[in-house]
Every structure is written in structure tokens, then in C-alpha cells.
Amino acid sequence: MCSGGSGWLAPGRCTTDRRSGPGRATQGHALFLGGGGGRRGAEEGHSRAGGAGALPKPGQGPGAAGAAPLRRRGAALLLPGLRERADGQRARQPLRALLRQERRIVKVWKMQAGFLLQRGMPERGLADAQAGMFCHVCVWTKLESIRDREAHSKDSCQADLDQLDNEKKELIQNDIAALHHFYSKHMEYPENAALVVLFAQVNCNGFTIEDEELSHLGSAIFPDVALMNHSCCPNVIVTYKGTVAEVRAVQEIEPGDEIFTSYIDLLYPTEDRNDRLRDSYFFTCDCRECITKEKDKDKLEIRKLNEPPPAEVVRDMIRYARNVIEEFRRAKHYKSPSELLEICELSLDKMGSVFAESNVYMLHMMYQAMGVCLYTQDWEGALRYGQKIIKPYSKHYPLYSLNVASMWLKLGRLYMGLENKAAGTKALKKAIAIMEIAHGKDHPYVIEIKKELEAH
């Protein structure tokens, strides 16, 4: 988070971290966790739930792009202390103790990075390797402090753990088993119950680190950034530069205003968003967007017919859409690309009898279909889906959305790969315009895309 000046905070400028003086950038180094769960600082791209992933350029391989920061002037922004829970009480932030360990972690990271670079490891491979090694360092650090936790802290954590569904509990147990398998000879462990608490805390407080096309790279913990509360109409966005998290304004922020980020993907209607928040973070959002539900009608748009479908038919189709989204999420683990594409096409045909193409459930399955096409290198098919997605995306998502930037980037690279330079240039410029706000003009992603444009 950066700072400077006096007055209000304008879109594209960095906030001031409590540990950084005026005009300095926060060194909010990450504690990397290889591949685990976590929330996204600004908005959670549904690419992780089975999205398109990184776009290989036709005939080449993965490309690159990004999104944008926030400027503060004057009085320090109110950095909220703790997260609101559903019962109105502030949720405890169990990872704040990690702030004391941050310098040690960064020192180890630099040492490991230097070793890997000396061995000639490519930059992207280095990021993956660091994520894996940080799992060891971060878990070790946390285990050291777990033994000192007070008894009442364990009791209060148990209340949240009891709310975890069986699938989450099973995933946590798998993580614990993997930890014992890989590190049993190097570490002493607390009891299993304490490890469950640790992994649940990481799942709740972690941030998903993604590349410019929202492909999952790993997870990290930023204890200070995790203090921000959630809103479905956030005024800041969190992006990453190496092991540093940057918080940037996407709305004008007055001195003393609370800053809000989004913990979840904001594409979906109010009921779906709050289902996700209750499932993952155990609270219900009461932001302006959730109270007014003003975008829900557009997000659930019905196909224009001579005779509007009965309300019961619409409700049944919404229920079907939610079920097929969950079915697809599970099917990705065992079905072939052709079978996955068939699920997408059949569900789109069925939902299309009631929903408009701009309906978010239609968009979700189009996005999954686009991802399958990219995976199978069906560039024309991916482009067709992307062209249908981009306009409603721009309407449903907030301004300066990383999801919209990512889609423009995918489209731009597809156009370029298919020899449509004019359309490709236009799409890439739209991606850059968003990313300069979300990531900053000097971010490596932005610089790389500009070089990409110049090369064409």
C-alpha cells in the first residue's frame, strides 16, 4: 500500500499501511502456502471454481496480463480492526500474531529465492517453488505460536469449526495427512485438533494468488490486509507484486471512511453471494448492494418471450442452474474435456429456454465452456464464448474488475492468435485501462502486455 499528499483517496492510488510512513510503500510480504484455499483480496475470480485459466497463445503457450491501485491524501484511512460476524460481533483475527514473525519469513524467502535463481530456475517456476517452500516456513512459524494459545481461544475456534461441512473437514484432514507425510521428520506437531484449527484459519484468512489471467498460483497470508471487512460494493482492490500485497482504491474515499474489499466473486445475485459468505466466513453481508438487491434483476434476466414464464418455472430453473454448477465443479475432477463441454452445452440449451444470455448462470456455464475450449486449444470456440461473455461481464461486475480485465486479455490474445490484429489491439487496450488502475502502471503484468501490443 502506498501513500502521499493530503485530502481524499482517488481511484488508482495506494492506501497507507499503518507501518509505512507518508510516501512509502508497504512491504506487506506474503507468507506463501502452496496451493491451499483462501480468499481473494479484491474479488474472487470464479476461474478457481473451474474457470478458463491461463490462456495459451495459439501455437505458443501461456501469456501474461493483469489489473490496478488507490491514492490517499490527508487523514489516515480507517483500517477496520476485525471482521464482522453474522451475530454482529467482531470475528477474531487469529493470524495477527504472525506480524511478529514477518521479518524472519522474508529473510528465509530471500535466501531461498537467491538459491533457486542461482540454479537458473525460470521466474514462473520460481514462484511455484517458493509457494511450496513457504508452506513449510509458514506452518512452522504458526505451530510455534499454537502451543501458547489460551484455552478460551480454542473453545471459541471450535464454534466455527463445528459449522464446517463434511467436504471442508475432509479437505483439511487431507492437508494434515500431507503435512505429516512430507514434514514428519523435520517438525514436531501439536495435537491433531490444533492443526485442524490452523488449517481452518488459513482457509478463512488466506488470499489466493493468481496470475494476470486469474489462474491459481498459490495462497498467501497478509495478516494486516486480512483485517479489512467485506463489502459487495468494495472501495478497494487487492493485487500482488511478488510477495507484496497492494491495496488500491476503485472508488473515491474520503478521510476517515472505512475501506472494504470483497472476499468473494461478485458476479452472482445477493442470495448466492450470501450463501458463499455464510459457507466460507460464517456471516451475512448487509452492505448497500445486499440490502437494495438493485442488480439482482439484471443478473437474473429472463429471456424476452411473448408470454413470460411463470414464477415457479423461473424458480425451478434457478434451482437447476445451481445444481448443474455444483455438478460441473465435481465433474472436473474425473470427466474428460469432451464430457465437460457436453455438460456445458446441454445446460446452456436448457437454461436458454428461460434465461437471457446475460443471466449470470448462463455466463457461468459459458465461462466453463470457454475454459474447456482453451484447454483443448479450440481457439475459435473459446473466442465465440468470450464474445458472448464480455458485454454482460462489464455490466454485472464493478468498475475496474479483475474479471473483466482478464476476459479482455483472453479475447485480445485470441484475436491476435487468430490474425485479427485490429480487434486484438482494441481488447488488449481495454484490459490495460483496467489493469493500470487495479495493478498500477508500473506493474510487471501491465508492462508485459504493453510490450505484447508493441510486438504486434
Q: What is the pLDDT of residues 90-141, one digit of tens each?
A: 333 334 444 444 444 444 444 444 444 444 444 444 444 444 434 434 444 4
Domain end (from 237, 261, 285):
261
Q: Which domain holds residue 33?
A: 10-261
| 242 and 316 assigned to the same domain | no
Would residue 345 count as lying in a domain? yes
Residue 367 and residue 231 in one domain? no
Flag whether the pTM goes above 0.75.
no
DSSP H or E segment with residue 197: helix 192-205
Residues 361 and 424 in one domain: yes
On whether the CB atoms of residues 243 and 109 are closer than 8 A, the answer is yes
How much is the mean pLDDT over the chain?
73
Same-domain status, 300 and 257: no
Over residues 253-311, the pLDDT tens digits come to 999 999 999 999 999 999 999 999 998 888 999 999 999 999 999 999 999 988 999 99
User: Do 189 and 327 fall within a single domain?
Assistant: no
The answer to the question of residue 267 being in a domain is no
In a domain, 286, yes or no: no
Residue 179's pLDDT is 73
Residues 252 and 302 in one domain: no
| Whether 245 and 307 share a structural domain | no
**Residue 4 maps to a domain:** no
Domain annotation covers residue 28:
yes
Least confident of 18-22, 319-323, 399-403: 18-22
Q: Based on the domain organization, do 252 and 299 belong to the same domain?
A: no
Q: Which residues contact 140 (CB under 8 A, 6 or more apart)?
A: 187
What is the predicted pLDDT for the residue at 59? 32
Measured between alpha carbons, how far is 431 from 438 in angstroms, rounded to an integer? 11
Lowest mean pLDDT among 192-206, 237-251, 289-303: 192-206
Residue 340: give its domain's CATH number.
1.25.40.10
How many separate domains does the chain show? Answer: 2
Q: Is residue 120 part of a domain?
A: yes
Do 122 and 68 belong together in one domain?
yes
For residue 248, is it within any domain?
yes
Task: Annotate 367-427 with DSSP letters as a single string.
Answer: HHHHHHHHHTT-HHHHHHHHHHHHHHHHHHSPTT-HHHHHHHHHHHHHHHHTT-HHHHHHH
Same domain for 341 and 219 = no
Let me know whether 304 and 209 are in one domain: no
Domain-located, residue 276:
no
Q: What's the rounded Cα separation, in Å, for the pair 22 and 76?
A: 10
Does residue 313 share a domain with residue 246?
no
Pairwise pLDDT comparison (40 vs 412), residue with the higher score: 412
In contact, 273 and 264? CB cutoff 8 Å: yes
More confident of the two residues 381 and 101: 381
pLDDT in tens, 37-85: 444 443 334 433 333 433 333 333 222 233 333 333 222 222 233 333 3
pLDDT of residue 214: 81
